[in-house]
Amino acid sequence: MALFQLYGSLRIGNGLGFGSANQAGLGETPAAAPYPEKLVKLFPVEGVGLTTLVVGLGGKLLALMVILTILIAAGVFVVRMFATKPTNGGKTDWWATAIATISYFMYAISVGAFSDFGNAAALATSMGVIIGIWTFVVPFFPTKG
């Protein structure tokens, strides 16, 4: 039953306080969704807490860190797949699902999930810049409501 409560929860214009109260996001043009609402839905917060498991449990075992990151990303993908589907039926917003999954991977890399690849400080710094640009630019691209 809880899975069905996800339907439409991350659709642009679902009434989170930024856009209209139209739960299905119908009747809105892509440009009608304000920047803050798109930004809220860009970052997969459901993966943030779990990423500490990757760094903590993975330790120096690169294979375990990669496996845990992929499993969490798969979980983010599945949650977003259902959360971007309209409540009254329809198709998943695959662009939003893909963007959230990519955002999660970038976050995981920036906090050290793959710190064994080269210089960890340089990787975190460069990922911080990339995430900053990603976070600023992606919400400006029109998506379907």
Classify 141 as helix, strand or coil. Answer: coil
Structure-model confidence comparison of residues 118 and 81, the more confident one: 81
Count of H helices and E strands in the chain?
A: 5, 0
User: Please, which pLDDT band fits residue 143 given cuts at 50, 70 and 90?
Assistant: low
CA angle 24, 25, 29 (to 5 degrees): 155
Quote the pTM value.
0.71
Q: DSSP character for 21?
A: S
Amino acid at 95: W
CA torsion, ordered 38, 136, 68, 73, to nearest 10 deg: 30
Structure-model confidence comparison of residues 36 and 61, the more confident one: 61
